[in-house]
Amino acid sequence: MALQCGIVGLPNVGKSTLFNCLSNAKAQSANFPFCTIEPNVGVITVPDERLNKLVEIVEPKNVVPATVEIVDIAGLVKGASKGEGLGNKFLANIRETDAILHVLRCFDNDNITHVDGSVDPVRDKEIIDYELQLKDLETVEARIARTQKQAQTGGDKVAKMQYEVLKQIKDALDQGHPARSVKFETPDEQKFARELFLLTSKPVMYVCNVDDASAVNGNKYVDAVREAVKNEDAQILIVAAQTEADIAELDTWEERQEFLAEIGLEESGVARLIRAAYALLNLQTYFTAGVVEVRAWTFLRGSKAPQCAGIIHTDFEKGFIRAEVIKYDDFVSLGSEAAVKEAGKMSVEGKEYVVQDGDIMHFRFNV
C-alpha cells in the first residue's frame, strides 16, 4: 500500500540526519531490509513485537513485515509558494505525500548555523505553514472564481455546496489556520474537501529534534512548540536525531539497548517515529500466519474483510466467501491455530466485518 509520509523542514534542522537514521532502521528494530526506490524515498519496516511473537510461535520459513514509505523532501526557503529556491519542487513533492513529518530544530549548537540566525522552532514552523497556506489560498481562490457565479445565480445544489466548503476553507486560511482545522459534517462536503488535495489538509506530526539531554522530557523549545500547536489537529514526537545516528553505528542489539538505557529510553526514537508515521497515515496491520510464511499486511483503518482480502490478491476480494478470524491475544495465549479452533475462539465473519488491528486472518474465496 503505497501511502507516503514526507519529511519537511528548514535547512539544518536535522531532517537529513533523521532520514538517514530511518534508512538504517533495520539495525535498530529487526533484521528486515531497507530499500531505496529513488535517492529520497525509503521503504522502511514497521517495528512490531506482535510479528516477532508470531514468528517465535509458528517458526515459519519466511517473514514479511509491514512497511511505510518515507520521503525526504527538499528544504524550503521563504517565498517557496512563489517558486523561490526549490519551492515548486518542494510543494509538488508535499502534494504527492499523504501525511507530513515536520522536523523542528529544538536544540542549541553553535557549530550548526541556523538559516535565520537563531533557534526558534515556532518561527520555523510558521515559515513553512505560511508558505503552504499561501499555496492553498491560491488554489481555493481559483476554485471560488469558477464556482461562485454558478452557486449564487443558478439552482445547482452541488455548486452551492462546493462554494460553501471553499469559502469556509478560505476563511480559515485567511486567519492563518490550516485547511485541516475546518471540520465538515456531510459526506459530500468531506469528499469535496479531500478532492481539493490541499497541502494544509494533510495530517501532520511535529518532530522536535532535541539534544541528548532532552531526549526523554524535551526542553523549553519543545514546550514552546506544544503551546503553539495545542489548537491544531496535530501530534508531537521528541527525537534526538544525532543520538539516533550514534545508535545506528553500534554493532549489536545489546549495545544499542545499553545506550538507550543510559539516556533513559526504552526504545529508539526512530522506532517510535516509524510507528507514529504508520498511524498518522491511518494504517493498521492484520496478519497471516503459517509455517510457510508469517506476514504483516497493511490496511486502512475501518476497512472491511473483502477489501483486506483484496490486498493479498484481487481474486480474494472478487470471490470473497468468508473470513476466519483469530484474535492475536487468543493465538498467543493458546499457542497454535489448532488450539484456538479447539477452544472455539476462531470466528467466521462475512462481508460486513470491519477488520481490527492485530487480527490473524484466513480468507475463503471462490472465483
> At 294, is the pLDDT very low, low, confident or very high (cuts 50, 70, 90)?
very high
Region 290-310 average pLDDT = 94
Q: Is the entire prediction scored with pTM above 0.85? A: no
- State the maximum Cα–Cα separation within the chain, in Å, rounded to a whole number: 71
Q: Which of 153 and 303 is assigned the larger pLDDT?
A: 303
> In the numeric block, which cell numbers belong to residue 209?
529534534
pLDDT score, position 82: 57
* Listed range (28-42, 76-90, 192-206, 244-258) with the worst mean pLDDT: 28-42
Region 36-53 average pLDDT = 76
Range list of H helices, 87-218: 87-96, 121-153, 157-174, 187-195
pLDDT score, position 59: 92
Q: Which of 29-43, 187-201, 316-330 has the highest mean pLDDT?
A: 316-330
pLDDT score, position 78: 59
* Listed range (66-75, 131-140, 158-167) with the worst mean pLDDT: 66-75
pLDDT score, position 90: 65
pLDDT score, position 261: 83
pLDDT score, position 286: 96
Q: Which of 322 and 215 is assigned the larger pLDDT?
A: 322
> In the numeric block, which cell numbers belong to residue 224?
514552546
pLDDT score, position 225: 94
Give the whole-angstrom CA distance, residue 295 versus residue 288: 5
Residue % of the chain over a pLDDT of 90: 40
> In the numeric block, which cell numbers belong to residue 280?
498518522
* Listed range (106-120, 212-226, 264-278, 300-314) with the worst mean pLDDT: 106-120
Question: Is 3 within 8 Å of 284 (Cβ atoms)?
Answer: no
Region 328-350 average pLDDT = 93
Q: Which of 350 and 1 is assigned the larger pLDDT?
A: 350
Region 179-207 average pLDDT = 90
pLDDT score, position 24: 63
b/e per residue, 237-259, with b = 16+ CB within 10 A?
A: bbbbbbbbbebbeeeeeeebbee
pLDDT digits (tens, 9 = 90+) for 57-96: 999 999 999 888 888 876 665 554 455 444 456 677 788 8
Question: Is 8 within 8 Å of 76 (Cβ atoms)?
Answer: yes
Q: Please, what is the average pLDDT of the chain?
A: 84
Residue % of the chain over a pLDDT of 70: 89
Residue found by looking up cell 524550503 in the block:
76
> At 116, is the pLDDT very low, low, confident or very high (cuts 50, 70, 90)?
low
Nearest C-alpha neighbor of 250 from the set 239, 261, 236: 261
- Asked if the model's pLDDT at residue 271 lies above 70, the reply is yes
Q: Can you count the helices (H) and strands (E) in the chain?
A: 14, 13
pLDDT score, position 241: 87
> In the numeric block, which cell numbers belong to residue 334?
493458546
Q: Please state, as a whole number, how many other Cβ atoms lie within 10 Å of the Cβ of residue 46.
A: 23
